[in-house]
Structure 1
Amino acid sequence: MAGAAGKGSDECVFCQIVNNQEQTDVIYQDGEYLCFPDRRPATQYHYLVIPKQHVGQAKTLTQQHVPIVERLVHIGRSVLEQKSIPFGDDVRFGFHWPPFNSIDHLHLHVLAPASQMGLLPRLAYRPGTPWFVTADWLLQRLKKMPEDKSNTVQTGVAEP
């Protein structure tokens, strides 16, 4: 599926990881997706799940990207299961919401246990804020979009 905004570049650290130009500990990999630990973990288990193909930030996604987001969440849950990490109410799956994101390559944050995050991470990964949305919220938003929606969504603050 085509990217939502922009193309992969030599400057995108996630594209560099996909192309083996940047090293990381790969936890999961298939032909289309990759999962690895966040370099600055906010809690004991903090993973990033990305599509290998450069897909733009969460705010630019459309209804056609629902399968990608669903797959990212599925992989995140599978990784937690494989590592025997319970993913009940103390796990957070979400995305930073532009302009409060540092990398414009779609990436799902998988955080467990969420209750053990420090003060700053609790703020940075707090659902329902203008800077962080849950995967469930994003999926609901995308599913409500008309199919012919343009690739760039011009909304402001994320709703909880």
Structure 2
Amino acid sequence: MSCVFCDIIANKTNTEILYEDDELVAFRDIKPAASFHFLIIPKRHIDNTKSLTINDKQLLLNMKEKMLKLLEKNNQNDINEISLGFHVPPFNSVKHLHLHGISKKSEMGFVGRWIFKEESFWYKKFDTIFDSLMPPKDSN
């Protein structure tokens, strides 16, 4: 089954890449909730937050660091105006892990404030997901 984010990674779309390294790619959200709404994804296909393990903590830290640098590059430095988070299953529009970086939160309209409501049933802050990672389940 095709994954639109894997297609972006493979340069099969005309998506403008804002940042890329060996493990991550960043680009604009196609339905921005605010003036600056970026996504950063791992090149390795990970379905969603439920697929993460404790072994992915460094990957997540790298995603957060690169997202904050991307926002800073766009003069979005007010941490109180930035939302960093993930939609959680079953509320994933694309089944490939992606971190939302949104600024300014105060610019979001009603729908955006609802869709990206931090610590709701469907959208969790970066730190909540990061802190919840557990060691992989023993297969025995």
Instruction: Tell me the TM-score normalised to structure 1 length.
Output: 0.82
* One of 110, 123, 132 as aligned partner of 2:114: 123
Distance 1:34 1:87, change over 3 A: farther
Query: What is the match of residue 137 of structure 2?
Result: 149
In 1, Cα distance between equivalents of 2:56 and 2:29: 23
**Which digits, 9 at most, give the CA deviation of each residue in 1:77-111, with x for residues without a partner?**
01112222214211000000110111111100000
Task: Kindly tell me the number of residue pairs found equivalent between the two proteins.
Answer: 139
Distance apart, 1:127 and its partner CA: 1.1
**Which digits, 9 at most, give the CA deviation of each residue in 1:11-39, with x for residues without a partner?**
10000000011121111111111110001
Distance apart, 1:150 and its partner CA: 5.7
Query: What is the match of residue 34 of structure 1?
Result: 25
* One of 35, 45, 48 as aligned partner of 1:57: 48
Which consecutive residues of structure 1, in runs of 5 or more, have no partner in the other structure?
A: 1-8, 152-160
Query: What is the match of residue 94 of structure 2?
Result: 103
Partner secondary structure for residue 89 of structure 1: helix
Identity %: 34
Partner secondary structure for residue 72 of structure 1: helix
* One of 61, 64, 76 as aligned partner of 1:73: 64
Which consecutive residues of structure 2, in runs of 5 or more, have no partner in the other structure?
A: none
Report the RMSD for the aligned CA atoms in angstroms: 1.4
* One of 93, 116, 127 as aligned partner of 1:136: 127
After superposing on structure 2, the runs of 4+ consecutive aligned residues of structure 1 that deviate more than 3 Å are none
In 1, Cα distance between equivalents of 2:138 and 2:75: 40
Which of the two has greater helix per residue?
2
Distance 1:52 1:113, change over 3 A: same
